Chain A
Amino acid sequence: NAGVTQTPKFQVLKTGQSMTLQCAQDMNHNSMYWYRQDPGMGLRLIYYSASEGTTDKGEVPNGYNVSRLNKREFSLRLESAAPSQTSVYFCASYGAGGQPQHFGDGTRLSIL
């Protein structure tokens, strides 16, 4: 079982470049999430998708867009990358009541 797969694992961008982070899950989960993790700040929710065809903002959505392409895939796009978006990005999925969120391995993104 692959679980939650994120690509790429590492990326370096220049300020102003655009990029899409990919996430796919094979657990037939309805809900998917994008988080960013910065030192000393824990995980902060960027966007989430409660089900296929729906997306909504989390705590820190500015500078990002998302697409829930189908039930399996949830992508995160940076239209014009800024140094403040240097972070580790995690995708997660969630099935049903009482179950935990399952996380991908993360994408380490540096913006110069």
Chain B
Amino acid sequence: GQQVMQIPQYQHVQEGEDFTTYCNSSTTLSNIQWYKQRPGGHPVFLIQLVKSGEVKKQKRLTFQFGEAKKNSSLHITATQTTDVGTYFCAGPLTGGGNKLTFGTGTQLKVEL
């Protein structure tokens, strides 16, 4: 079945260091979404990428969608304690209904 994997599962960084999480799909995706979940919270939408090779930036966050539309990455420059949380990618599930399949997530911890 359709699978979306993320690496790494955990990342522990010092404040100010950069962070990258990678997302890989077993199938080609029409689009990919990224969500952030703070500890004890719920997933919150960050961004959606649609085009092959697309790059979008939100302040210190840079999102890329691969040329083959099967992989994506999220890069955070100069992490801050406010970046702590789990980052999920998600792609549309086949079969309609606007369903998403979520990646396994990357948990980011930031130390002062």
* Interface residues in chain A, defined as those with a beta carbon under 8 Å from any beta carbon in chain B: 31, 33, 35, 40-45, 48, 50, 56, 58-59, 90, 94, 98, 100-106
Number of residues from B at the complex interface, CB < 8 A: 23
Give the nearest-CB partner of B103 in chain A: A42
Chain B residues in contact with chain A, CB under 8 A? 6, 9, 33, 35, 41-45, 48, 88, 90, 93, 96-105
Q: A41 to chain B: which residues have CB within 8 Å?
A: 104
List A contacts of B33 (CB < 8 A): 100
Across the A-B interface, give the 7 residue pairs with the lowest CB-CB distance, nearest first.
A100-B45, A103-B42, A43-B102, A50-B97, A42-B102, A42-B104, A42-B105
Q: Please name all residues of chain B whose beta carbon is closer than 8 Å to the beta carbon of A106 when the two chains form the complex.
A: 42
Given the complex of chains A and B, what is the CA–CA distance between A106 and B45 in angstroms?
Answer: 16
Chain B residue numbers with a CB within 8 Å of A58 are 99
Q: How far does the Cβ of A55 sit from chain B's closest Cβ, in whole Å?
A: 10
Given A90-B43, A104-B42, A40 contacting B9 (CB threshold 8 A): yes
Residues of A close to B100: CB separation below 8 A: 45, 101
Could you list some 17 contacts between A and B, CB below 8 A?
A31-B97, A42-B103, A42-B104, A42-B105, A43-B88, A44-B102, A45-B99, A50-B97, A56-B97, A58-B99, A59-B101, A101-B43, A101-B45, A101-B100, A102-B45, A104-B42, A106-B42
